[in-house]
Structure 1
Amino acid sequence: MSAILSADDLNDFISPGVACIKPIETLPAANPEDNSNAYEVTTEDKVAASQPPPPATISLTDCLACSGCVTSAEAMLVSLQSHTEVLTTLDTYRSLRAPWEIQNGLNHGVSNGVNGHHHEAKLFVASVSPQTRASLAAVFGVSEVEVGNMITQLLSGPSGLQSSGHNGSDFTWVIDTNVVREACLVAAADEVAMALSPETSNAPSETGLEGAIKTTPKKPILTSACPGWICYAEKTHPYVLPHLSRMKSPQALTGTLLKSVLSQRYNVPPSQIWHLAIMPCFDKKLEASRSELTSSVWLPNHDSTQEPVRDTDCVITARELLHLAAARNINFANLPRTPLPSSQRTPFPDPKLDAFLFPPSRRKNQNPEAGPSGGYLHHILHTYQAQNPGSEIVVKQGRNTDVIDYSLVRGSETIVKMARYYGFRNIQNLVRRLKPAKISKMPGARVGGSRKPNGAAVETVKDYAYVEVMACPGGCTNGGGQVKVSEVEEVRAYEGVQAVNGDVVSSKPGPKEQKEWQGRVDEAYFSGSEDEVDADGDQEMQDVDVNGAHGIGNRDVVNGISSQYIQGILSHWSAITGVDTQDLVYTSYRKVESDVGKKQNDVERVAGLASSIGGGW
Structure 2
Amino acid sequence: MSAILSADDLNDFISPGVACIKPVETLPAEPAPSAPSDELEHEVILDGQPTANTPSQPPAQISLTDCLACSGCVTSAEAVLVSLQSHSELLSVLDQAPALRIHRDEDGGGGYRYRVEGLEDPASKLFVASVSPQTRASLAAAAGPGSGVSARDSGRMIAQLLTGPNGVRAGGKWSSGFEWIADTNTAREACLVLGAEEVLRDGDGGTGNNKIAKPILTSSCPGWVCYAEKTHPHVLPHISRVKSPQALMGTLLKTTLSRILDIPADRIWHLAVMPCFDKKLEASREEFTDHVWNGCGKPGKGVRDVDCVITSKEILMLAESRGIDFFGLSKAPIPQIPFPDPIIHKFLFPFNRGSQVDPAAGTSGGNLYYVLQYVAAQHPGSKIQTTRGRNADVIEYTVNSASGEPIFKAARYYGFRNIQNIVRRLKPAKLSRMPGSKAAGARRTAAKSTGLEHAYIEVMACPGGCTNGGGQIKVDDPIIIKQMGLSSKPGPEEQKRWLAQVDEAYFSAEEAEAEVYESSKQNGEAREDTVSGISPSYIRDTLAHWASITSIEMDRLVSTSYREVISDVGKSKTTDTERVVQLAGKIGGGW
TM-score clears 0.5: yes
| Partner residue in 1 for 2:38 | none
User: Which residue of 95, 109, 120 maps to 1:117?
Assistant: 120
Aligned AA (1:174): I
Deviations 1:509-547 (A, max 9, x none): 13332232112211111111454699xxxx9x9998799
Q: Is 1:130 paired with 2:120? A: no
User: Which residue of 279, 282, 291 maps to 1:284?
Assistant: 279
Give me the whole-angstrom Cα distance separating, in 2, the residues matched to 1:2 and 1:440.
42
Aligned AA (1:526): F
User: Which residue of 480, 497, 501 maps to 1:520?
Assistant: 501
Matches within 5 A, 1:500-539: 503-529=484-510, 531=512
Q: Identify if the C-alpha distance between structure 1 residues 323 and 491 changes in structure 2 by more than 3 Å, giving closer, same or farther.
A: farther
Post-superposition offset of 1:21: 2.7
Post-superposition offset of 1:332: 0.1
Post-superposition offset of 1:215: 1.2
SS in 2 for 1:527: helix
Gap runs ≥5 in structure 2: 10-14, 31-48, 576-591
SS in 1 for 2:172: coil
| Partner residue in 1 for 2:199 | 192
| Partner residue in 2 for 1:182 | 189
| Partner residue in 2 for 1:37 | none
User: Which residue of 293, 302, 306 maps to 1:308?
Assistant: 302
Contact 1:66 1:592 in 2 (8 A): yes
Post-superposition offset of 1:389: 1.2
Give me the whole-angstrom Cα distance separating, in 2, the residues matched to 1:509 and 1:109.
53
Matches within 5 A, 1:197-216: 197-198=202-203, 200=204, 214-216=209-211
Contact 2:356 2:533 in 1 (8 A): no
| Greater relative contact order (Cα < 8 A, sep 6+) | 1
Q: Identify if the C-alpha distance between structure 1 residues 457 and 578 changes in structure 2 by more than 3 Å, giving closer, same or farther.
A: closer
Give me the whole-angstrom Cα distance separating, in 2, the residues matched to 1:257 and 1:188.
17
Q: TM-score, normalised by structure 1?
A: 0.80
Give me the whole-angstrom Cα distance separating, in 1, the residues matched to 2:416 and 2:76.
9
Q: Is 1:587 paired with 2:560? A: yes
User: Which residue of 167, 170, 174 maps to 1:167?
Assistant: 174
Q: Is 1:466 paired with 2:456? A: yes
Give me the whole-angstrom Cα distance separating, in 2, the residues matched to 1:318 and 1:288.
16
Give me the whole-angstrom Cα distance separating, in 2, the residues matched to 1:558 and 1:242.
28
Q: Identify if the C-alpha distance between structure 1 residues 18 and 517 changes in structure 2 by more than 3 Å, giving closer, same or farther.
A: farther
Matches within 5 A, 1:349-360: 349-360=340-351
Q: Identify if the C-alpha distance between structure 1 residues 156 and 418 changes in structure 2 by more than 3 Å, giving closer, same or farther.
A: same
Matches within 5 A, 1:204-603: 214-297=209-292, 307-340=301-334, 344-361=335-352, 364=355, 366-410=357-401, 411-446=403-438, 460-487=450-477, 489-490=478-479, 499=483, 503-529=484-510, 531=512, 548=524, 553-554=527-528, 556-600=529-573
SS in 2 for 1:600: coil
Post-superposition offset of 1:56: 3.4
Aligned AA (2:348): L
Q: Identify if the C-alpha distance between structure 1 residues 303 and 446 changes in structure 2 by more than 3 Å, giving closer, same or farther.
A: closer
Give me the whole-angstrom Cα distance separating, in 1, the residues matched to 2:523 and 2:556.
26
Post-superposition offset of 1:595: 1.0
Contact 1:361 1:530 in 2 (8 A): no
Contact 1:298 1:579 in 2 (8 A): no
Aligned AA (2:316): L
Q: How many residues align?
A: 543
Q: Identify if the C-alpha distance between structure 1 residues 459 and 425 changes in structure 2 by more than 3 Å, giving closer, same or farther.
A: farther
Aligned AA (1:419): A
Deviations 1:149-190 (A, max 9, x none): 111111111111112211011001111111110000000001
Matches within 5 A, 1:27-106: 29=28, 48=52, 51-69=55-73, 74-99=78-103
Gap runs ≥5 in structure 1: 10-15, 32-44, 207-213, 494-498, 603-617
Post-superposition offset of 1:364: 3.8
Q: Identify if the C-alpha distance between structure 1 residues 409 and 169 changes in structure 2 by more than 3 Å, giving closer, same or farther.
A: same
| Partner residue in 1 for 2:5 | 5
SS in 2 for 1:404: strand
Contact 1:319 1:483 in 2 (8 A): yes
SS in 1 for 2:153: helix
Contact 1:296 1:309 in 2 (8 A): yes
| Partner residue in 2 for 1:607 | none
Q: Identify if the C-alpha distance between structure 1 residues 303 and 74 changes in structure 2 by more than 3 Å, giving closer, same or farther.
A: closer
Q: TM-score, normalised by structure 2?
A: 0.83
Two-structure CA RMSD over aligned residues (Å) = 3.7
Post-superposition offset of 1:590: 0.8
Q: Identify if the C-alpha distance between structure 1 residues 504 and 515 changes in structure 2 by more than 3 Å, giving closer, same or farther.
A: same
Contact 1:71 1:232 in 2 (8 A): no
Contact 1:451 1:457 in 2 (8 A): yes
Q: Identify if the C-alpha distance between structure 1 residues 385 and 3 changes in structure 2 by more than 3 Å, giving closer, same or farther.
A: closer
Contact 2:313 2:471 in 1 (8 A): yes
Between stretches 264-273 and 408-417, larger displacement belongs to 408-417
Contact 1:419 1:467 in 2 (8 A): yes
Q: Identify if the C-alpha distance between structure 1 residues 303 and 229 changes in structure 2 by more than 3 Å, giving closer, same or farther.
A: closer
Q: Identify if the C-alpha distance between structure 1 residues 415 and 428 changes in structure 2 by more than 3 Å, giving closer, same or farther.
A: same
Aligned AA (1:484): K
